[in-house]
Structure 1
């Protein structure tokens, strides 16, 4: 028997994972595509073809939802990359309390998103909130963070960054620690300082970590729902409505087939944006 076959595992080792993947992902996906073509409830269904998709694209707030979703994903992704990289560099430097600080930075990731949304919606209250109270103590009139149509979406996005930057930081810490020490030694012999260390070594050689953070944060932003719903429920008006919140409102109204079609459209939308980005980043990746 050729050596290549003697060193491979039996396909039976893949069977449990394949069954789980089939049950949890493939079957629900196929069912979602099918029920998006029907008018259904918990007891009955009727095939109506592409009618749900036509009705979904006629949703008055859909254009706002697409725009808000894209803006939200770009803002949260960009800030997580920037702050995650800076915190990763700081927490891998020679500081005595970096173990404690790493725990502090990662802690918000472990907190329930709904709890974070409720807590920050109280803290951002225009009159009784802690944030505006702190600003007024130093003579600054704080805005209505969640009631002002100009800043409501960005306010939620900043909370999302606060909660998710710890996960990005952990990825960056792993990427920075995997850089071979020979690069730092060569820079030290060359007389390079901290800026050159960051610009010439850490920034380019942590690109695999950057790619991972960008993909995960961007997809997470496109699919975001729970934080927005906990803080604003899409308001004021439709100014913080995302595609996912529009879909949820349709579920609440009992339009199950319509909302299922919305989920299919969201899946296609996320794939159409994330897959080309993934391919582009992989072509640019630097090998150590």
Structure 2
């Protein structure tokens, strides 16, 4: 009886977290799967099977949304990995103002995404925006950053990188500081340069940090909506439409069951990409 009592006593500590997880995640997820099979409003619902999924896959801009989502996720993820690593190395070097610079780099993470989107959409205005005004003083005609179908998605992605690179940098700083000093000391004895230290010690031994940045950035890119909607609302045309913005437009139109089915599809889409990617990345992590 004592062993059973100890086991029950131990599980009691997990009970609050289990309740919160069930209420916040499990119940909404199950309800989403159920309501994706219905035509529902706030007051009633009608079971219609897989009709919502069939209709959602017939959405004219869906193929563009999938392509834009993957491009956006890949570009922002790659930029945050490279930029975060370089900033992490710089901000762990022997510079006097590194503590201040760390705060500066991380500050955009704390700013509201909607506020960032509105601010940058004004700065990227083709005639009165700060960017093109500065370029005009240099004798360069600036492009229509958010109105050009070839530039709009990359322009929003650049803002996303500016806002999110601080988190990637902090993760890299933690990973770099966790590397034992013995490796650097051994490299110095062998006459290695700073480049050798970066390529042979920092890059391979900060792989757990790299994996974390890749997973977090890729998930964020696949699910991105608020910044894109604040800056372009999916335009011009469908140039910056992603899966999440297509889903939101369905909600705006009152097609709640159809939009819920879109959310389920997005959930499965993200899971199908991120889960095997996570398994692949963590398979050969270097133990310090």
TM range (shorter): over 0.9
Q: Distance in 1 between matches of 2:111 and 2:236?
A: 26
Counterpart in 2 of 1:109?
Answer: 109
Deviation readout 1:184-241 (Å, 9 max, x if unpaired): 1101111111000100100000000000000000000000000000000000000100
Q: Distance in 2 between matches of 1:179 and 1:8?
A: 40
Please state if 1:231 is matched with 2:231.
yes
SS of aligned partner of 1:63:
helix
Counterpart in 2 of 1:48?
Answer: 48
The count of corresponding residues between Structure 1 and Structure 2 is 287
Counterpart in 2 of 1:69?
Answer: 69
Deviation at 1:2, TM superposition (A): 11
Q: Distance in 2 between matches of 1:6 and 1:107?
A: 46
Counterpart in 2 of 1:184?
Answer: 184
Deviation at 1:284, TM superposition (A): 2.3
Q: Distance in 1 between matches of 2:9 and 2:237?
A: 57
SS of aligned partner of 2:46:
strand
Counterpart in 1 of 2:170?
Answer: 170
Deviation at 1:136, TM superposition (A): 1.1
The unaligned stretches of length 5 or more in structure 2 are none
Question: Counterparts of 1:126-275 in structure 2 under 5 Å?
Answer: 126-275=126-275
Change (3 A) 1:9 1:73: farther
Say which is worse superposed, 137-146 or 255-264, in terms of deviation: 137-146
Q: Distance in 1 between matches of 2:8 and 2:210?
A: 33
Deviation at 1:285, TM superposition (A): 1.1
Counterpart in 2 of 1:88?
Answer: 88
Deviation at 1:8, TM superposition (A): 11
- When normalised by structure 1's length, the TM-score is 0.97
SS of aligned partner of 1:284:
coil
Deviation at 1:137, TM superposition (A): 1.0
Q: Distance in 1 between matches of 2:104 and 2:143?
A: 28
Change (3 A) 1:183 1:9: farther
- When normalised by structure 2's length, the TM-score is 0.97
Q: Distance in 1 between matches of 2:9 and 2:174?
A: 30
Q: Distance in 1 between matches of 2:189 and 2:239?
A: 55
After superposing on structure 2, the runs of 4+ consecutive aligned residues of structure 1 that deviate more than 6 Å are 5-9
Q: Distance in 1 between matches of 2:77 and 2:171?
A: 14
Please state if 1:97 is matched with 2:104.
no
Q: Distance in 2 between matches of 1:193 and 1:105?
A: 27
SS of aligned partner of 2:224:
coil
SS of aligned partner of 1:142:
coil
Q: Distance in 1 between matches of 2:137 and 2:147?
A: 22
The unaligned stretches of length 5 or more in structure 1 are none
Deviation readout 1:96-143 (Å, 9 max, x if unpaired): 000000000000000000000000000000000000111111111110
SS of aligned partner of 1:60:
coil
Q: Distance in 2 between matches of 1:89 and 1:8?
A: 47
Q: Distance in 1 between matches of 2:78 and 2:185?
A: 31
